[in-house]
Amino acid sequence: MCGIIGYIGRRNASQIVLEGLKHLEYRGYDSVGFAGVLNSKLVIKKDVGKVDEVHARLNFLEYNLKLAIGHTRWATHGRVTRTNAHPHTDCNKRIAIVHNGIIDNYEELKKELISKGHKFRSGTDSEVVAHLIEENLVDGKSFEEACFNAFKRLEGAYAILAIKNDEYEIVAIKKGSPLVIGVADHGSFVASDIPAFLNYTKKVVYLYDYDMVFLKPEPVFYNIGNGVMLKVERPIQSVEWDAEKARKGDFEHFMLKEIMEQVDTVQRAVAQDKRILEKIVGEIRRAKGVFLVGCGSSYHACLTASYVFSKVAKEHVNVILASEFPNYEHFLTEKTLIIAVSQSGETYDVLEAIRAGKKRGSKIISIVNVMGSSLVRESDASLLMHAGPEICVLSTKTYTSQIALLNLLAYTLSDKYEEGKRRLKYLWNVIYYLTSANTRNKIRKLAEKLLDKQHIFCIGRGLQYPTAMEAALKIKEASYIHAEAFAGGELKHGTIALIEEGTPCIVFVSEENAKEILSNAIEVKSRGGYVIGISPVNSEVFDFWIKVPECGTENPIVQIIPIQILAYQLAVLRGYDPDKPRNLAKSVTVK
């Protein structure tokens, strides 16, 4: 998983690519590099480190270029070294490429190319692309033809940008990895994600798999899915995202900014066209088997929704991790409905899950934040979260938006659309209270108490169980403290053996389950545990209490917010960057 950006046009490409890399750093931050063309020679600068660190050493702005491509890397093949950083070049350093994804057949291609005399410098799968293009630059073939012949041989998932030292052109290809074109009056952009160029244009072209684009500088579109270059038309669309939303502004980190934005984003999620909701509800009613699929936080949102669908709509839905879903394809039929939940709409496991369903003729509904994403294009219908760009690697505002949308669907399914909408609209004042300076300061005191802990446990029952799971995930992702979640009733089936003097345990309480979960909290307390209550009312069992007003089926939206803040503050106090946690990337576009 990496971020790629390219620009060709009348503006300073070095400046634009550097800015784009900063906006894409959430997609990868092991190493960074860029390549451009100057006087028929390639200019390449790359090294290990974050964008600002490498720029300070190498000065990406040394030359005013009119064509450049850049890359920020999250390592998959090959260690984190300068040599393995992108861009990669051919033997003669005439061709440079950047690549996001994995080339599945790179070993076979590499052996073939070595046998033909090619010399490889890196340990990446990506480098084969540059050499394969070079190998096809024979018999008078053009750069475009050489790229086409090279790309035809690639297997796996990839988004690739290629340039040549004596060509004023960027060649781009996409298959299974995100890539979007930006169009401005001064030139064209190509990037993994819209925020990379949102400062310059809101006009975008979403690409389909096997789309091959020649930017020179206006984009010309082909599709090579059938093994030939078929010229195609791709519409220019306008995105609603505000460029300001992709900036930190006065906030130190995007994570805190996006936590605070939930006052608005939950309300924007609710602002759906009722006709679309009713159309989706009709599909749910007609389906013989409904599956909710997602990964990570989106999976927790799906699990939460399964409780709400049961409580509110008396409807059974199956919840499956997207990566495991293909194992269930034998149950799928033309009457099956799959509801796929994803922030980016580009998550590899989610796309593989829906494709397993499509093979069986199943209907696909998606809940997603990115218009024009692969998931949207492959779905029969979609609901957009309208959360705006989420730059922090960790999901906060999109998680609560997902739950809000799924709750609204459940209420619509039970013919209670107005009630569901009213309940969600009520949350703005609760979220405003939970994100206030007073609440944040109180949670900071808790973070100071937990700063040096090695383990934190989270427990809940019913709707609070998936909330506990999401809480544990947030703490792990941001602070690197080991955290685990359990259904309250499961403590006595083994986990309670891990509780010792001072072990923190976060307990999620609602009016519905207070008696049972507080009994579990007492079990923890009697063994020396430090009990933290997330609850509408205080209890003598709590060593630390964070008040969260009772919101019924909307509890999962409001109860997670204090833990998002806690995870953020733990990360900062421990000296970590919460926006870019180690070993993680925003869009997981590989297996």
Q: Which pLDDT score, from 0 to 100, does residue 13 have? A: 96
Note whether 507 and 572 are same-domain residues.
yes
Spatial contact of 259 and 397, defined as CB atoms under 8 Å apart:
yes
Q: Computed over its alpha carbons, how large is the radius of gyration of the chain?
A: 25
Cis amide bond preceding 549, omega within 30: no
> How far apart (Å, rounded) are the C-alpha atoms in residues 361 and 287?
12
Residue 590 lies in a domain: no
Spatial contact of 75 and 82, defined as CB atoms under 8 Å apart:
no
Q: Which pLDDT score, from 0 to 100, does residue 587 have? A: 56
Tell me how many degrees the CA angle 29-347-330 measures, rounded to the nearest 5: 150
Catalytic residue among 2, 147, 392, 505: 2
Residue 430 lies in a domain: no
Type and span of the H or E element at 533: strand 530-535
Spatial contact of 31 and 46, defined as CB atoms under 8 Å apart:
yes
- Residue 566's closest CA among 543, 544, 590? 544
Domain at 183, CATH number: 3.60.20.10
Q: Which pLDDT score, from 0 to 100, does residue 242 have? A: 63
> How far apart (Å, rounded) are the C-alpha atoms in residues 467 and 472?
9
Note whether 135 and 271 are same-domain residues.
no
Residue where one domain finishes, among candidates 220, 243, 266: 243
Residue 591 lies in a domain: no
Residue where one domain finishes, among candidates 218, 243, 268: 243
Q: Identify the domain containing residue 487 by its residue range.
A: 436-579
How many domains are contained in the chain?
Answer: 3
> How far apart (Å, rounded) are the C-alpha atoms in residues 343 and 375?
10
Q: How far is CA 328 from CA 283, 318, 325, 340, in A?
A: 20, 11, 5, 15
Token pair for residue 392? 């922090």
Catalytic residue among 50, 110, 363, 586: 586
Note whether 421 and 278 are same-domain residues.
yes
Token pair for residue 436? 């206030």
CB atoms within 10 A of CB 317: 22
Note whether 456 and 348 are same-domain residues.
no
Domain at 479, CATH number: 3.40.50.10490
> How far apart (Å, rounded) are the C-alpha atoms in residues 266 and 554?
11
Note whether 90 and 186 are same-domain residues.
yes
Note the residue count of the chain: 591
| SS3 category, 464 | helix
Q: Which pLDDT score, from 0 to 100, does residue 80 have? A: 85
Name the residue type at position 294: G
In 369-412, which ranges are E strands? 381-384
| SS3 category, 132 | helix
Residue 588 lies in a domain: no
Whether pTM exceeds 0.85? no
- Residue 126's closest CA among 158, 91, 94, 82? 158
Q: Which pLDDT score, from 0 to 100, does residue 500 have? A: 80
Residue 458 lies in a domain: yes
Query: Is 525 one of the annotated active-site residues of the chain?
Result: no
- Residue 568's closest CA among 559, 550, 581? 581
Dump pLDDT digits (tens) for 252-273.
Answer: 899 999 999 999 999 999 989 9
Token pair for residue 126? 């990506």
Residue where one domain finishes, among candidates 213, 243, 273: 243
| The dihedral formed by the CA atoms of 402, 391, 96 and 39, expressed in degrees to the nearest 10 | 140
Note whether 193 and 275 are same-domain residues.
no
| SS3 category, 583 | coil
Token pair for residue 530? 């430090």
Residue 234 lies in a domain: yes
Note whether 407 and 523 are same-domain residues.
no
Token pair for residue 524? 């923890």
- Which residues of the chain are modeled with pLDDT < 70? 1, 28, 77, 241-249, 497, 585-591
Note whether 420 and 499 are same-domain residues.
no
Question: Strand 530-535's sheet: what is its strand order?
Answer: 482-487, 455-460, 504-508, 530-535, 544-547
Residue 131 lies in a domain: yes
Query: Is 147 one of the annotated active-site residues of the chain?
Result: no
- Residue 341's closest CA among 310, 369, 378? 369
Q: Which pLDDT score, from 0 to 100, does residue 591 have? A: 57
Note whether 211 and 259 are same-domain residues.
no
Residue 113 lies in a domain: yes
- Residue 340's closest CA among 329, 332, 351, 331? 351
Spatial contact of 289 and 333, defined as CB atoms under 8 Å apart:
yes
> How far apart (Å, rounded) are the C-alpha atoms in residues 223 and 174?
10
Note whether 21 and 170 are same-domain residues.
yes
Dump pLDDT digits (tens) for 25-35.
Answer: 777 678 999 99
Q: How far apart are the first and last CA of the chain?
A: 10
Note whether 113 and 185 are same-domain residues.
yes
With 0-12 CB in 10 A as exposed, 13-18 as middle and 19+ as buried, what is 57? exposed
Note whether 218 and 265 are same-domain residues.
no
